[in-house]
Structure 1
């Protein structure tokens, strides 16, 4: 076997990696096209859910109370949490970074799960249940109430009734959406702040800058590098020797 082909386990792996890359590229192009954003609207809301759940779960890990998750109709959102004590700088920076890294972590786990049929079904069941449960526990917005349980129910149906090939495609598609969701608004990663619900807010990298002093653009570069490493690792473990 030639050296060029030996990197992939099988020809099917080569085709699958090509498909994942194509899905990612097409999704990014659609996000920035006039009507593509409407086609991908549910997945934009899902990307926001991944992002805000990253903040909320990280806050809980550092002892804070995750109170609510709000998603606006334009796809923006926020996770509200509070702590009885002053958080450390490391905790504040980690909670801010978790929103940026959370979607990629989830996406990589889904891609890895697609390698085995049993894991594929577990991933669909777990994600579907998490979407519905988180809506009941934390979500406090109409957009979230409508979109998130709908996606969750669809995933449960696919997990329980779908063909193995459909389950695999669903997991891989969702994995790609998680991995590339940062590119939906890449400028946010390298901005100090923006407008949320009509109010000026610090960006996540702006919060990291406030906690750890180095400029927001530096942390944008670090986050981008970490995302690239995670995606390459997931593809290597899932499809490469």
Structure 2
């Protein structure tokens, strides 16, 4: 082969090698740039999420203040003679949530529900057959607490409160099926339903969110107040915590405290989720409400 041909082949190989080296270098720089950009985007996203989750605007601050006021007011009304009857219709619904928790978990664990009875003066009782008692016994308090946390979450927004109020209205009416059939019970439940309906027609349902919040706080903290009432003030030996302790060990007070702590954690989760999901002001929420089943 001629020397010139050898030189041409060498040049071609060098050019090919240089091209591959350049391509590899570019690819390496590209990967590094993408990785750096990804890290910056991730840092920015985390910073944005953290800043949003820690920021509470004036509307959310008002909601938090209302929640705190409700917790104090309900705690007082729960134990004051005569005045406690003002909570009657809401207590009926919370008791219903409690018993539904027992009933649903019984069905999910292979049991069967024979009957449910509700009475705000004597409490509720769910007659079950079968099921796993380790699940069904705490499900009453924890179920009502979970429902309460969801209602608190909805209470941060008017449209979400509208949706929740429809479910609450149906639940109120369903309690008449199991509740003791006396005129006082029927009247108070119908008044509660009437309150929900009336709130729809006031300022584009803005007051409705505060009613939903009230029921949510009462349901979320029901286990705390009821366990305190049963295990500390009256020491009732038929409470769920007492039966659970008899079957699985420990003390009823211990299990009651554990369930109360879980209930408070549920409530805290509902509050944090509400703050993160609904940053809109009252004015913005009212505009959104006008486009969802408007009433004015």
TM-score (norm 1): 0.79
Task: State which drifts further: 96-105 or 56-65.
Answer: 56-65
The residue aligned with 2:96 is 49
| Partner SS for 1:40 | helix
Over 3 Å counting, the alpha-carbon distance change for 1:81 and 1:152 in structure 2 is farther
- Describe how 1:70-81 pairs up with structure 2 within 5 A: 70-72=117-119, 74-81=121-128
| Partner SS for 2:56 | coil
Task: State which drifts further: 98-107 or 63-72.
Answer: 63-72
- Describe how 1:64-143 pairs up with structure 2 within 5 A: 64-72=111-119, 74-83=121-130, 87=131, 91-133=132-174, 135-136=176-177, 139=178, 141-142=180-181
The residue aligned with 1:197 is none
The structure 2 residue matched to 1:16, chosen from 35, 52, 63, is: 63
Over 3 Å counting, the alpha-carbon distance change for 1:151 and 1:108 in structure 2 is farther
Whether the 8 Å CA contact 1:67–1:80 is kept in 2: the answer is: yes
CA apart distance, 1:46: 2.3
The Cα RMSD (Å) is 2.9
The residue aligned with 2:37 is none
The structure 2 residue matched to 1:202, chosen from 224, 232, 238, is: 238
Confirm or deny that 1:28 pairs with 2:75: yes
Whether the 8 Å CA contact 2:152–2:267 is kept in 1: the answer is: no
The answer to which structure has the higher helix fraction is: 2
CA apart distance, 1:27: 1.2
The superposition leaves residues 144-192 of structure 1 with CA deviations (integer Å, 9 ceiling, x where unpaired) of 9626852663366247545321221111111111122234431325699
CA apart distance, 1:234: 1.3
Whether the 8 Å CA contact 1:190–1:205 is kept in 2: the answer is: no
User: Structure 2 stretches of 5 or more lacking a match?
Assistant: 1-52, 280-296
User: Structure 1 stretches of 5 or more lacking a match?
Assistant: 1-5, 195-200
Distance 2:169 2:245 in 1: 35
Task: State which drifts further: 61-70 or 21-30.
Answer: 61-70
Whether the 8 Å CA contact 2:151–2:164 is kept in 1: the answer is: yes
Task: State which drifts further: 103-112 or 65-74.
Answer: 65-74
Number of aligned residue pairs: 223
The residue aligned with 2:272 is 236
| Partner SS for 2:207 | helix
Whether the 8 Å CA contact 2:141–2:222 is kept in 1: the answer is: no
Considering only CA atoms, is the larger Rg found in Structure 1 or Structure 2? 2
TM-score (norm 2): 0.66
